[in-house]
């Protein structure tokens, strides 16, 4: 067995080499995930054997180097890397450390972690003075002329910018530009680039700026550094930078608890491939700059920030064909059929491709070698094409024009990503899908009836619409395959029992496009009956909180269709709940209508959850952080001082639990 010292030395040597391949040559030989695992291993070994500590270790230094091709500039403020975490537990540990080291309540900014090349821009009197790469963190390459070719880098600022400051960001190459660039290279008989990140980085190091200008690069900014800055938090800094003319993506969010941070992580883990550029995680930062200053830096990274890397177990395989699936609302989803490959412990044969834009953006073609990745979702995704292996004779993918189930011409509405099969009443998959949705657990939850039986009932011609379920007779279902006396009884009694399912769930069960569980709840609460909802105009619908144009349009459209109205009427006649019951109505008021609340601290009489429900039942709205729009802060025990200060600053009314309960005339629990 190798000694710890040998292992440490080998890892250091290998990591130095990989850093060189990655940062200097822009040609990595291993995947980032493997690199990170080696680095983590080295970190563990060094922690267990402090006697081998060495300040030149890759764990102690920023990985890049300076080249001799550009003037070397020493950074006025060192450019650090970021500490990494791969699990929610790591994050929670970090939060605990932060809370211990900081005084006062800590708020966090969550930002996307753009995957490109770091850059530092210095502005003086509103003009770009110089642009320097991160290099080894202490000094970097001055690439001002190349940076000036990027259109999103302002050469002259506007607004109340400081006289002199530095701003940091990431130069990225959006997918679309990357695919275009590669297409041109292939046409010219050149080798295509492997990935956007290394291409972005390589583009900054070109000697001829007119070459850089041909690359559709973007510069996304995330941090302003300097003295006497006109803001006190990271989040305000982002807003200011945007006002001065920088491209600062708008996805960043404030979070007052780790729960909110995790919601942000989960959301972007699932949706990051909808962004036009690559991201490899989320960066969580302590929002307050004074607290940041107190926390300071380690040898390699700030203590006040933490990167959370999306898990990307990636494999390369061949795309054998693209097929198309029809959903219950007629939405078409393209599916990639892959040469089977082992990924994260399972055999993967299919991957989701989202929509036509996604296919175009990644420029995926049948026969390509593609990278598949498993993120937070169950279905793996294709995240890129290995252009180096593309068959020069291949042609761009032509998206389906007809429904694979019923041959109807597909439509795509202006502004929508998805294609649809418009044949709602005749497309067999849609008919079955709609009824399956109707009976599903979160909708009518019909016991004794499953998806397969629904398909069978439709196939046998016993039902073709969910209202038909309520006319099913025991004698009709008994002859069906695998249907025993007992199961037939269960089915019929399950259908009968569903008549008492509350209105909001019936509304969800109807399967109106864009009316999910939450929207159904909102609509039910607001309109109180299906009749009122059916009469509502688009303008009235849009006025309901959180109901946008798309939803409003879809609801109006649903009730315009005569057949839908007839179905709803039948459901009403069968005795389904198509209005809020008297009992539920009693608890609902609009006393708090138009008021926004923030809840903070611990409460004595009701739980946070009950408090939230009380606010919503009385027509109010609950948000996570205080802004100028917050009307009330309901303050419990041990509420943090920073929230209080913020509330006082923006003029939010601060009320106690008792004062709140009085407002809604709450008379105590049951
Ligand atoms: N495959 C290889 O051979 C190889 C070799 C070396 C490094 N790598 C990869 O490079 C990465 C390590 O590089 P690193 O040291 O630059 O660390 P990092 O890229 O993980 O994180 C630090 C960088 O994140 C960037 N960043 C993006 N968005 C940001 C935001 N909103 N706020 C703050 N910073 C933001 C900054 O440029 C910062 O320098 C890892 O992903 C590693 O796997 C791979
Ligand atoms: Zn169809």
**ipTM, 2 decimals?**
0.95
If you take atom 44 of ligand 1, which residue's CA is the nearest one? Answer: 32
> Measured between alpha carbons, how far is 114 from 281 in angstroms, rounded to an integer?
8
- Residues 198 and 139 grouped into a single domain: yes
Mean pLDDT of 633-638: 88
Q: What is the pLDDT of residues 489-503, one digit of tens each?
A: 999 999 999 999 999
- Residues 288 and 328 grouped into a single domain: no
Identify whether 417 is part of a domain. Answer: no
- Residues 144 and 275 grouped into a single domain: yes
Identify whether 669 is part of a domain. Answer: no
Query: What is the residue-averaged pLDDT of the chain?
Result: 90
Of the ligands numbered here, which is closest to the C-alpha atom of 432? 2
For residue 373, the domain's CATH number is 2.40.50.140
DSSP secondary structure string for all residues of 504-530: HHHHHHTT-TT--HHHHHHHHHHH-BH
Angle at 638 (CA atoms; ends 633, 641), nearest 5 degrees: 65
Cα-to-centroid distance, 301 and ligand 1 (Å):
11
Residue 450, phi-psi category: left (phi > 0), alpha (psi -120 to 50), beta (remainder)? beta
Looking at residue 312, its pLDDT comes to 65
Share above pLDDT 70 across residues of the chain, in percent, rounded to a whole number: 97
Which ligand 1 atom lies nearest to the CA of residue 300? 15
Angle at 592 (CA atoms; ends 591, 597), nearest 5 degrees: 160
Contact yes or no for 589/652 (Cβ under 8 A): no
> Measured between alpha carbons, how far is 654 from 647 in angstroms, rounded to an integer?
7
For residue 117, the domain's CATH number is 3.30.470.30
Cα-to-centroid distance, 498 and ligand 2 (Å):
29
How many structural domains is the chain composed of? 6
Contact yes or no for 454/431 (Cβ under 8 A): no
Quick one: tokens of 648? Answer: 């006082």
**Site residues for ligand 1, CB cut-off 6 Å:** 18-19, 21-22, 28, 30-32, 35-36, 62-63, 81-82, 84, 111, 113-114, 118, 134, 170, 222, 283, 307
- Residues 101 and 225 grouped into a single domain: yes
> Measured between alpha carbons, how far is 558 from 530 in angstroms, rounded to an integer?
12
Which of 265, 286, 309 is the last residue before a domain boundary? 309
CA count, 13 A, side-chain hemisphere, 199:
26
For residue 645, the domain's CATH number is 3.40.50.10190
If you take atom 8 of ligand 1, which residue's CA is the nearest one? Answer: 32
Cα-to-centroid distance, 429 and ligand 2 (Å):
7
Looking at residue 187, its pLDDT comes to 62
For the cut 80, the answer to whether the pLDDT of residue 355 exceeds it is yes
Which of 552, 586, 620 is the last residue before a domain boundary? 586
Looking at residue 91, its pLDDT comes to 92
Quick one: tokens of 154? Answer: 């302002």
Identify whether 410 is part of a domain. Answer: no
> Measured between alpha carbons, how far is 121 from 128 in angstroms, rounded to an integer?
7
Which ligand 1 atom lies nearest to the CA of residue 21? 3
Query: Around ion ligand 2, which residues have CB less than 5 A away?
Result: 403, 405-406, 408, 421, 423, 427
Identify whether 416 is part of a domain. Answer: no
The residue to mutate among 83, 283, 302, 312, having the most atoms of ligand 1 within 8 angstroms of its beta carbon, is 283
The residue to mutate among 29, 82, 109, having the most atoms of ligand 1 within 8 angstroms of its beta carbon, is 82
33 annotated to bind ligand? yes
219 annotated to bind ligand? no
pTM: 0.59
Mean pLDDT of 222-246: 96
> 377 pLDDT band (50/70/90 cuts)?
very low
- Residues 102 and 136 grouped into a single domain: yes
If you take atom 41 of ligand 1, which residue's CA is the nearest one? Answer: 32
- Residues 191 and 168 grouped into a single domain: yes
Cα-to-centroid distance, 319 and ligand 1 (Å):
30
- Residues 339 and 298 grouped into a single domain: no
Neighbouring residues of 656: CB distance < 8 A, sequence distance ≥ 6: 634, 635
If you take atom 16 of ligand 1, which residue's CA is the nearest one? Answer: 81
Which ligand 1 atom lies nearest to the CA of residue 80? 39
Identify whether 535 is part of a domain. Answer: yes
Q: Are strands 253-255 and 279-286 parallel, antiparallel or unpaired?
A: unpaired
Contact yes or no for 321/350 (Cβ under 8 A): no
If you take atom 29 of ligand 1, which residue's CA is the nearest one? Answer: 113
- Which of 27-36, 145-154, 466-475 has the weakest average pLDDT? 27-36
Q: What's phi and psi for 634, nearest 5 deg?
A: -90, 110
68 annotated to bind ligand? no
CA count, 13 A, side-chain hemisphere, 338:
28
Catalytic site positions? 113
For the cut 70, the answer to whether the pLDDT of residue 344 exceeds it is no
Domain carrying residue 482: 428-500
- Residues 204 and 334 grouped into a single domain: no
If you take atom 6 of ligand 1, which residue's CA is the nearest one? Answer: 19
110 annotated to bind ligand? no
Q: What is the pLDDT of residues 589-623, one digit of tens each?
A: 888 888 899 998 888 888 888 888 889 888 888 88
Cα-to-centroid distance, 407 and ligand 2 (Å):
6
Task: For tokens 């040469």, name the residue.
Answer: 339
- Residues 330 and 281 grouped into a single domain: no
For residue 492, the domain's CATH number is 1.10.150.20
Identify whether 598 is part of a domain. Answer: yes
Share above pLDDT 90 across residues of the chain, in percent, rounded to a whole number: 60
Looking at residue 289, its pLDDT comes to 95
Of the ligands numbered here, which is closest to the C-alpha atom of 285? 1
Which of 500, 527, 561 is the last residue before a domain boundary? 500
DSSP class of residue 409 equals B
- Residues 293 and 319 grouped into a single domain: no
Of the ligands numbered here, which is closest to the C-alpha atom of 330? 2
CA count, 13 A, side-chain hemisphere, 40:
10
- Residues 104 and 236 grouped into a single domain: yes
Cα-to-centroid distance, 275 and ligand 1 (Å):
19
406 annotated to bind ligand? yes
Question: Which pairs with CB-CB distance under 8 Å and at least 24 residues apart come from 52-59?
Answer: 52/4, 52/5, 52/8, 54/12, 55/299, 57/12, 58/12, 58/15, 58/16, 58/19, 59/300
For residue 22, the domain's CATH number is 1.10.287.610
Q: What is the pLDDT of residues 542-565, one digit of tens each?
A: 988 778 888 999 999 999 999 999
Q: What's phi and psi for 61, nearest 5 deg?
A: -135, 155
For residues 252 and 644, the model is more confident at 252
Identify whether 64 is part of a domain. Answer: no
DSSP secondary structure string for all residues of 199-246: HHHHHHT-S-HHHHHTS--EEEEEEEE-SS-S-SBHHHHHHHHHHHT-
- Residues 218 and 162 grouped into a single domain: yes
Give the SS3 label for residue 286: strand
Of the ligands numbered here, which is closest to the C-alpha atom of 419? 2
Query: Nearest Cα to 478, choosing from 450, 453, 452, 497?
Result: 453
Distances (CA, A) of 204 to 196, 201, 550: 13, 6, 42
Contact yes or no for 495/472 (Cβ under 8 A): yes
- Which of 259-268, 281-290, 567-576, 644-653 has the weakest average pLDDT? 644-653
Contact yes or no for 199/181 (Cβ under 8 A): yes
Identify whether 422 is part of a domain. Answer: no
DSSP class of residue 656 equals E
For the cut 70, the answer to whether the pLDDT of residue 670 exceeds it is no
The residue to mutate among 32, 108, 285, 311, having the most atoms of ligand 1 within 8 angstroms of its beta carbon, is 32
């Amino acid at each position: 067995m190798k000694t710890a010292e040998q292992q440490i030395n080998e890892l250091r040597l290998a990591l130095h080499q990989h850093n060189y391949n990655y940062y200097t040559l822009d040609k990595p030989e291993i995947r980032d995930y493997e690199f990170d695992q080696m680095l983590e291993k080295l970190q563990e070994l060094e922690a267990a054997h402090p006697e081998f500590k060495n300040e030149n270790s890759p764990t102690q230094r920023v990985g890049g180097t300076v080249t001799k091709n550009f003037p070397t500039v020493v950074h006025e403020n060192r450019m650090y890397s970021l500490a990494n975490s791969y699990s929610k537990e790591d994050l929670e540990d970090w939060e605990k450390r932060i809370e211990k080291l900081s005084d006062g309540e800590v708020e966090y900014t969550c930002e996307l972690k753009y995957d490109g090349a770091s850059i530092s821009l210095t502005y003086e009197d509103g003009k770009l003075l110089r642009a320097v790469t991160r290099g080894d963190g202490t000094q970097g390459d001055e690439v001002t002329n190349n940076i000036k070719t990027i259109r999103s880098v302002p050469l002259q600022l506007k607004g109340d910018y400081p006289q002199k400051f530095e701003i940091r960001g990431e130069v990225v190459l959006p997918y679309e530009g990357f695919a275009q660039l590669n297409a041109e290279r292939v046409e010219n008989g050149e080798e295509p680039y492997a990935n956007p990140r290394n291409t972005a980085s390589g583009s900054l190091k070109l000697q001829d700026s007119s070459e850089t200008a041909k690359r559709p690069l973007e510069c996304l900014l995330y941090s302003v550094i300097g003295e006497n800055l006109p803001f006190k938090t990271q989040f305000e800094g982002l807003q200011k930078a945007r006002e001065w003319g920088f491209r600062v993506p708008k996805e960043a969010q404030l979070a007052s608890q780790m729960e909110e941070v995790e919601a942000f992580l989960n959301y972007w883990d699932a949706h990051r491939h909808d962004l036009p550029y690559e991201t490899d995680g989320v960066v969580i930062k302590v929002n307050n700059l004074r607290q940041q200053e107190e926390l300071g830096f380690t040898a390699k990274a700030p203590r006040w920030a933490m990167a959370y890397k999306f898990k990307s177990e990636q494999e390369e395989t061949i795309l054998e064909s693209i097929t198309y699936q029809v959903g219950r609302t007629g939405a078409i989803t393209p599916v990639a059929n892959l040469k089977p490959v082992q990924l994260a412990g399972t055999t993967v044969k299919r991957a989701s491709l989202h929509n036509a834009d996604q296919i175009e953006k990644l420029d995926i073609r049948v026969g390509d070698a593609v990278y598949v990745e498993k993120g937070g979702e169950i279905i793996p995704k294709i995240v890129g094409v290995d252009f180096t292996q593309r068959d020069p004779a291949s042609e761009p993918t032509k998206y389906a024009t007809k429904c694979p189930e019923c041959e109807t011409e597909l439509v795509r509405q202006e502004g929508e990503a998805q294609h649809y099969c418009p044949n709602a009443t005749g497309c067999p998959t849609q008919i079955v899908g709609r009824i399956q949705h109707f009976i599903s657990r979160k909708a009518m939850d019909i016991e004794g009836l499953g998806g397969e039986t629904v398909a069978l009932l439709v196939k046998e011609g016993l039902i073709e619409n969910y209202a038909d379920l309520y006319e099913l007779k025991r004698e009709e279902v008994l002859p069906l395959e695998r249907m025993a006396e007992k199961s037939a009884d269960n089915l019929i009694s399950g259908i009968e029992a569903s008549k008492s399912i509350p209105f909001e769930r019936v509304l969800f069960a109807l399967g109106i496009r864009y009316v999910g569980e939450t929207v159904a709840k909102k609509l039910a609460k607001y309109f109180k009956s299906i009749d009122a909802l059916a009469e509502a105009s688009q303008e009235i619908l849009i006025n309901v909180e959180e109901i946008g144009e798309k939803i409003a349009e879809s609801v109006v459209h649903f009730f315009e269709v005569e057949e839908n109205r007839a179905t709803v009427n039948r459901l009403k006649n069968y005795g389904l709940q198509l209005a809020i019951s008297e009992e539920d109505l009693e608890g609902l008021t609009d006393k708090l209508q138009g008021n926004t609340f923030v809840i903070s601290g611990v409460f004595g009489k009701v739980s946070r959850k009950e408090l939230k429900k009380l606010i919503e039942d009385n027509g109010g709205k609950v948000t996570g952080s205080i802004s100028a729009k917050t009307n009330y802060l309901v303050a419990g025990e041990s509420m943090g001082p920073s929230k209080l200060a913020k509330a006082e600053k923006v003029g939010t009314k601060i009320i106690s639990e008792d004062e709140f309960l009085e407002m809604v005339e709450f008379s105590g629990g049951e």
